[in-house]
A and B are shown apart, each in its own frame.
Chain A
Amino acid sequence: NAGVMQNPRHLVRRRGQEARLRCSPMKGHSHVYWYRQLPEEGLKFMVYLQKENIIDESGMPKERFSAEFPKEGPSILRIQQVVRGDSAAYFCASSVQRGLEQFFGPGTRLTVL
């Protein structure tokens, strides 16, 4: 049973470009969470999704960030017009039910030049 998969593992973008981060949850998991870890800081919740629905996006910046989890395919975290402050590790986690253990993927390290 493969774990949570994220790709790409490393992503380099120039200021103003778009970044698309993908997350495939563990098999059988329909709950996906995105977290961001800025350099030398703890993880911060961004958004919680179930298939085709955003349940809680209280941690998402108001502009430039969006997330989706379509019926088919991986969850996508999209960052438009990236800025240097977006450089961070973005982790995805999945769970089989709300409130149960969240399993983390290896993360995508975004570097904005």
Chain B
Amino acid sequence: RKEVEQDPGPFNVPEGATVAFNCTYSNSASQSFFWYRQDCRKEPKLLMSVYSSGNEDGRFTAQLNRASQYISLLIRDSKLSDSATYLCVVTVNNAGNMLTFGGGTRLMVKP
């Protein structure tokens, strides 16, 4: 079983749509949670951190359910520029604090 699992998609949605991505992680010792965005052939960029209380940044809302080991990202009012791969990322509080990435979910927003 992969440490971080995501539906690879692609999710094809029209502009203005609301789209939700889900992610599950296997290590119950995971401490920190993030969503990153990666454009084609570019580096990953931090979209937002995810907190147990849930958090919102403009059109983006992230939720964490520790009991179910489940993370979600909701994008409202999709824009063409939201087209990218969204990476679910967790860390375990060990000496390395390395990021463990899911395989990514590809989003394509169409006019």
Contact = CB atoms under 8 A, between A and B. Distances in A.
Interface residues of B, number: 22
Given A41-B103, A99-B32, A56 B96 contact: yes
A56 B103 CA distance: 22
A12 interface: no
A104 B98 contact: no
Contacts, number: 51
Given A43-B87, A104-B43, A33 B98 contact: yes
Nearest to B93: A99
Interface residues of A, number: 24
B43 A107 contact: yes
Given A41-B103, A42-B101, A104 B44 contact: yes
A44 B101 contact: yes
A79 to B, nearest CB: 19
Contacts of B101: 35, 42-44
Nearest to A109: B41
B72 interface: no
B7 to A, nearest CB: 13
Nearest to B31: A99
